[in-house]
Chains A and B, each alone.
Chain A
Amino acid sequence: MTVRVQPEDFDLGSEILELRRGDTGIGAVASFVGLVRDLNHGATVAEMALEHYPGMTEKALAEIEEEAKQRWNIINTLVIHRVGPLKPTDQIVLVAVSSAHRGDAFAACEFIMDYLKTRAPFWKKEQTEAGAHWVDARESDETAARRWNHQPDSTGPA
């Protein structure tokens, strides 16, 4: 169970190699990479800045990983979230989960991402041609996170 909050970019391949190194019980790794898009609500994003709450952010992410471990039969997890200035096409976030079988890894990876979006203290500020603005939270992210309230198994949301 690893959490890293960092300005630096990451390499998906080497991170996954490290996650599964030496563990012959791992039969599956599921991963998600989030990227900066150049278009949000019709405005062209030139740059964005990610702010976090040092201490609480890491704690919240570790708690989300722990909850995933309680819910699914998973072996290891990795969450990397970048902070600071980012540009379109940059990687923002990596969630990777290892398990014996794919169902647990798929479901836990999506669960961690959904909870991260609504519970981990990060804030995005976008720079567009119309000026800089803080991104509003989206109800669809809350809805995605709520799907897991009654899904304490490997099947994922309905």
Chain B
Amino acid sequence: MVTLLYFARLRETFGLSSEQASLPAAVVNVRSLTEWLRQRGGAWREELAQDRPVRVAVNQDMADPDTTVRDGDEVAFFPPVTGG
């Protein structure tokens, strides 16, 4: 199981701030996790499309597509930050 978190516009569009998910064996990193979520279709396919500027953090560190995702990880998806 991994914990998936969604923030800001993604949280609103998905209507979801967090979920626990069992990942198939093929999901090993951020790239394959994002692809797996995209297969949910609808808003997921749209918001997580490759040309959208989605940021991903694994265990609260900024990640890139090759960052490994393991059982027990916390993975967050969010738009580019706009604080300050």
Contact = CB atoms under 8 A, between A and B. Distances in A.
Summarize A's interface: helix, strand, loop or mixed. mixed
B15 interface: no
A61 to B, nearest CB: 10
Contacts of B5: 53
B44 interface: no
Interface residues of B, number: 16
Interface string A103-127: 0000000000100111111111100
B53 interface: yes
B81 A120 contact: yes
Contacts of B84: 34, 81, 92-93, 113, 116-117, 120, 122, 141
A34 B62 CA distance: 25
Interface residues on A, range: 20 to 34
B57 interface: yes
B76 interface: yes
B13 to A, nearest CB: 10
B36 interface: no
B53 A123 contact: no
Contacts of A118: 81
Interface of A: 34, 50-53, 55-56, 59, 81, 92-93, 113, 116-125, 134-138, 141
